[in-house]
Chains A and B, each alone.
Chain A
């Protein structure tokens, strides 16, 4: 089955899971998704370049999606309850994403997580992927 990103250009699996963001060389602010310019009002000069990041981070908080969400989210039927997380990466950015975890009871604020690319839904004989956070 062909494996394609749910939205192109946001992440890559080549050489390990990475989110494709930007970083300002002047002030060090990291953006995800990519930004055409630096938006920090304290930054003297926008010097934006591509910046991929991933690896491990810390779970700031999480929530459980107890009901099927409305469009434009897509999911495989029958619906399975999933968790959402907010993760602080050492690269200096806080990111939202779905959690990759077998037992929702095991979720814990403050735990170490790792960025992974995993299937989100299947459609037209294709597997659509997104970034997720795997609790370690």
Chain B
């Protein structure tokens, strides 16, 4: 295995169809901007890219929207390079990074582009539209009626029961997210908000409110990764990939993803995420105590409380008090989502795992401006996708 470096990163700012940022740009245009920025940041030409690993929603369950990596290669110039289209729901960006990483680490290629981008349909994310009774997601939506936010709010309600979490404490997490995104020109929401603002926003699924969940967004992200040997030829901006992992959920997971699951006494609720993160720590020889910052998948503020506890970054039941004390801000002891996270960006599904890599690279290079984690040396990112998919990446200086 050869060491892998993140040589360059690029984003297209996130927005909503029709707004001043993304307008009605097609996904190819959003991705072109992210790819061109990543190439420029890396100091390489398109013709230097030997393979593309693309997070693709086009092929997941027949959804009528989504990125196809081949379209971007055609857009940039058909050089005949291989394109790997990876689908894993919201974890697809992380999966694409892992395959790109593996292609370079194995020595197959020494310079690969990893990318994701979306123009999302409006409203709640819907299933494929195919009414197939063997599809657990169809059964869950037809017979029960449980869009994403209601699934998340089951978890939030359970946490309120177990730890006495209050609606004010959930709101504090959203306030913290916006405190970061004020300093992020790529975020869809860049305005600071107060606890009162959050509590005045309508419930989407009680107890979770509009400002506490991520909407769908349009956006794109790209990164050029290469071998450590190859990176020597370029400017000293490259950061090291300490590990990149993928996992799926385990049988004893206590959170039903379809209609039912075996009820465990005390099993984890997000086994795929915990497994991916634990493997990332093991493979990197890095522990939770070594992290300068974490970029985790906060589809809702609940995850920012639950995930750090599940991965041993803090103790169970401790997250609320750490948030209240400001310890999850960029200058705190346990910085979480200094980018502003999904709650500030909205979710452009396949872009997210790559977007996290971009933010981690900027943080480790000390280029994050007002949201900079001082002296950042090690960063962890994680995604979680429909179907029991999860990924993790650890980057180090």
Contacts and interface: CB of A to CB of B under 8 A. Distances in A.
Given A86-B154, A94-B262, A10 B143 contact: yes
A96 B140 contact: yes
B230 interface: no
A9 B259 CA distance: 14
Given A72-B127, A72-B129, A110 B161 contact: yes
A7 B150 contact: no
Interface residues of A, number: 46
A52 to B, nearest CB: 13
Interface string B41-71: 0000000000000000000000000000000
A61 B151 CA distance: 10
A73 B202 CA distance: 22
B263 interface: yes
Contacts of A75: 145
Contact of B251 (A41, A65, A92): A41
Given A64-B203, A66-B205, A86-B256, A73 B141 contact: yes
Contact of B153 (A6, A64, A73): A64
Given A39-B251, A64-B153, A82 B145 contact: yes
A21 interface: yes
Given A66-B205, A96-B256, A72 B263 contact: no
Contacts of B133: 7-9
Main secondary structure of the interface of B (DSSP, over half): mixed
Given A72-B129, A72-B131, A86-B154, A131 B203 contact: no
18 contacts: A6-B143, A9-B133, A10-B139, A60-B263, A61-B154, A61-B158, A64-B150, A64-B206, A66-B206, A71-B126, A72-B141, A72-B142, A73-B144, A75-B145, A93-B261, A95-B260, A98-B144, A110-B161
Given A67-B205, A96-B144, 17 more contacts: A7-B143, A29-B262, A62-B154, A62-B157, A63-B206, A64-B206, A65-B145, A67-B124, A70-B123, A71-B141, A72-B141, A73-B141, A73-B145, A84-B145, A95-B259, A96-B260, A109-B157
Interface of A: 6-10, 21, 29-33, 39-42, 60-67, 69-75, 82, 84, 86, 88, 92-98, 109-110, 120, 130-131
